[in-house]
């Protein structure tokens, strides 16, 4: 099938929740191919999901081997993969006494975190959860309520009670939101959807101290910034901070759906039989795949590669930004979760890159979000920098043609 045919079928049979612009039919490493056979350098990675690249041979083998052995049995029975994956995550988390619960997506992991915090607080009369404005926690009713963005909540009321909002990177704002009923603060170490904004060290350290003083849980949403994306296993490890529990999904299965809650000792035995469950959670197949992903990150030393390639990418991006100071105001992020901050909508640059054979994301209006796989090579980074530089030159010329002053060319939001 060609792209037009696929798009027509989709239009007829799928709810129009998405507006795709390409039909991708094959992937390998950092490359994907569309239905017409055009190749793209993939710096989206399925939105921070395919962290070890497309169709990594170790992952393919894990899927094949486990699919031939045992796919699913339910949690009525032990399976031999689930505790091994939990052990690996607990060890990498560094949280003392860590235990896991497995589910299937980021929203479901956060929903579970919220339930865990409420159950922990139930006897103390605490149930409120403070989240950050511009955060993103998912699309279920509780998690879209936790998501501090009105546009995601509009039309879905009445929303569940017990959520309040504070400003990211403003400790005082969180302190002001605390009441005797506050059970937890939920925060991303680096806001991804919100515009690639890393927490300031004083903010996360201050939150930890504040939560300890007030007897409140500190929960981290690691769905996007976890699994090596920031150059550490988990985003909070860039700071000298340990949350009481955190959620995972996206990169955990490299595209095979799996999510997790990882909790420290205070929360690790709060859920008892009957409190929480999910049919597909922690299936032998999902866990075998996630185990292969962890092995690849460890054995191929992808945290080191993420730091190295991230630093090199930032350096190149900053050079491009310097050349276009009038409409690129900076580069930010951690590891390979990077954002180029534009003074114009990012969609135009993203579209230009796609025409040139490179996939990137436009986020929060004016941020070009770049998420190559953690095993991206120097050559691929150089190729991306070349394409971004070209696209910026072309965009610059187009803006200049539209207006004598590119700064006020009417492309602002
Ligand atoms: C993507 C994302 C989610 C939601 O994950 P889904 O798997 O889409 O439900 C939650 N939190 C963060 C930080 C995310 O980036």
CATH number of the domain that residue 398 is part of: 3.90.1150.10
Give dist(CA 252, CA 67) in Å, integer: 18
Give dist(CA 216, CA 238) in Å, integer: 22
> Going edge to edge, which strands form the sheet with 31-34?
24-28, 31-34, 39-42, 358-359
Q: Please, which residues have CB within 8 angstroms of residue 48's CB and are 6 or more apart in sequence?
A: 192, 224, 225, 229, 250, 251, 337, 371
Distance (angstroms) between ligand 1 centre and the Cα of 322 equals: 33
Does the C-beta of 135 come closer than 6 Å to ligand 1? no
What pLDDT band is residue 334 in, cutting at 50, 70 and 90?
Answer: very high
DSSP β-bridge partners for residue 41: 31, 358
Phi first, then psi: give them for residue 247, nearest 5 degrees.
-110, 150
- Whether residue 237 sits in one domain with residue 379: no
Distance (angstroms) between ligand 1 centre and the Cα of 165 equals: 18
Query: Does 408 have pLDDT greater than 50?
Result: no
What pLDDT band is residue 122 in, cutting at 50, 70 and 90?
Answer: very high
DSSP β-bridge partners for residue 54: 29
Q: Which range of residues forms the domain containing residue 134?
A: 58-299
Does the C-beta of 246 come closer than 6 Å to ligand 1? no
Does the C-beta of 137 come closer than 6 Å to ligand 1? yes
Atom of ligand 1 nearest to the CA of 105: 7
- Whether residue 199 sits in one domain with residue 236: yes
Query: Does 10 have pLDDT greater than 90?
Result: yes
Structural contact between residues 253 and 281, judged by C-beta atoms closer than 8 angstroms: no
Give dist(CA 255, CA 393) in Å, integer: 34
Give the domain-ending residue among 299, 314, 332.
Answer: 299
Structural domains of the chain, count: 2
- Whether residue 314 sits in one domain with residue 245: no
Choice from 44, 105, 106, 222 to test ligand 1 binding pocket (greatest atom count within 8 A of CB): 106
- Whether residue 80 sits in one domain with residue 15: no
- Whether residue 83 sits in one domain with residue 176: yes
Q: Within 13 Å, how many C-alpha atoms sit on residue 372's CB side?
A: 30
Choice from 51, 138, 221 to test ligand 1 binding pocket (greatest atom count within 8 A of CB): 138
- Whether residue 196 sits in one domain with residue 92: yes
Q: What is the structure's pLDDT at 2?
A: 96
Give the DSSP letter string of 108-158.
HHHHHHHHHHHHHHGGGT--EEEEEBT----SSHHHHHHSB-HHHHTTSPS
Reduce the DSSP state of residue 209 to 3 states and report it: helix
Does the C-beta of 136 come closer than 6 Å to ligand 1? yes
| Mean pLDDT for the chain overall | 96
- pLDDT > 90 fraction of the chain, expressed in percent and rounded: 96
- Whether residue 280 sits in one domain with residue 190: yes
Q: What is the structure's pLDDT at 404?
A: 61
- Average pLDDT (145-159) is 97
Distance (angstroms) between ligand 1 centre and the Cα of 224 equals: 7
Q: What is the structure's pLDDT at 409?
A: 43
Q: What is the structure's pLDDT at 413?
A: 35
Query: Does 364 have pLDDT greater than 80?
Result: yes
* Peptide bond connecting 158 to the previous residue in cis, omega within 30 degrees of 0: yes
Does the C-beta of 42 come closer than 6 Å to ligand 1? no
Atom of ligand 1 nearest to the CA of 250: 7
- pLDDT > 70 fraction of the chain, expressed in percent and rounded: 97
pLDDT tens by residue, 225-282 = 999 999 999 999 999 899 999 999 999 999 999 999 999 999 999 999 999 999 999 9
Choice from 45, 247, 250 to test ligand 1 binding pocket (greatest atom count within 8 A of CB): 250
Give the domain-ending residue among 299, 314, 348.
Answer: 299
Atom of ligand 1 nearest to the CA of 108: 9
Structural contact between residues 367 and 196, judged by C-beta atoms closer than 8 angstroms: yes
Which of 370, 383, 374 shows the shortest CA–CA distance to 339? 370
């Amino acid at each position: 099938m060609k792209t037009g045919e696929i798009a027509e079928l989709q239009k007829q049979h799928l709810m129009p929740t998405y507006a795709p612009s390409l039909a991708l039919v094959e992937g390998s490493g950092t490359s994907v191919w569309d239905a017409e056979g055009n190749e793209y350098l993939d710096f989206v990675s399925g939105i921070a999901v395919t962290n070890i690249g497309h169709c990594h041979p170790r992952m393919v083998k894990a899927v094949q081997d486990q699919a031939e052995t045992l796919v699913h049995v339910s949690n009525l029975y032990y399976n031999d993969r689930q505790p091994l994956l939990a052990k690996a995550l607990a060890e990498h988390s560094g949280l003392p006494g860590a235990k896991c619960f497995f589910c299937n997506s980021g929203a479901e992991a956060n929903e579970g975190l919220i339930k865990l915090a409420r159950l922990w607080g139930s006897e103390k009369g605490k149930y409120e959860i403070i989240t950050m404005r511009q955060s993103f926690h998912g699309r279920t009713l509780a998690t879209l309520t936790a998501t501090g963005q009105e546009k995601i909540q509009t039309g879905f009321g009445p929303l569940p009670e017990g959520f309040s909002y504070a400003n990211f990177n403003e400790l005082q704002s969180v302190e002001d939101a605390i009441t005797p009923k506050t059970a937890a603060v939920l925060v991303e170490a680096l806001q991804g959807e919100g515009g690639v904004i890393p927490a300031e060290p004083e903010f996360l350290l201050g939150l930890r101290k504040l939560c300890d003083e007030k007897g409140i849980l500190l929960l981290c949403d690691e769905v996007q910034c976890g699994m090596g994306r920031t150059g550490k296993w988990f985003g909070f490890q860039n700071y000298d901070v340990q949350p009481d529990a955190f959620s995972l999904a996206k990169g955990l299965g490299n595209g095979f759906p799996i999510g997790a809650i990882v909790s420290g000792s205070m929360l690790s035995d709060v859920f008892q039989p009957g409190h929480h469950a999910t049919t597909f959670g922690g299936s032998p197949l999902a866990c075998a795949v996630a185990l292969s992903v962890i092995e690849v990150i460890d054995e191929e030393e992808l945290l080191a590669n993420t730091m190295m390639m991230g630093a090199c990418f930032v350096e190149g991006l900053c050079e491009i930004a310097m050349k276009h100071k009038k409409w690129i105001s900076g580069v930010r992020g951690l590891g390979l979760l990077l954002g180029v901050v534009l003074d114009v909508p990012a969609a135009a640059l993203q579209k230009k890159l796609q025409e040139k054979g490179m996939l990137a994301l436009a986020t929060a209006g004016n941020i070009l979000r770049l998420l190559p796989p953690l095993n991206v090579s120097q050559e691929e980074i150089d190729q991306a920098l070349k394409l971004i530089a070209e696209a910026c030159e072309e965009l610059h010329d187009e803006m200049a043609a539209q207006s004598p002053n590119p700064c006020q060319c009417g492309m602002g939001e």
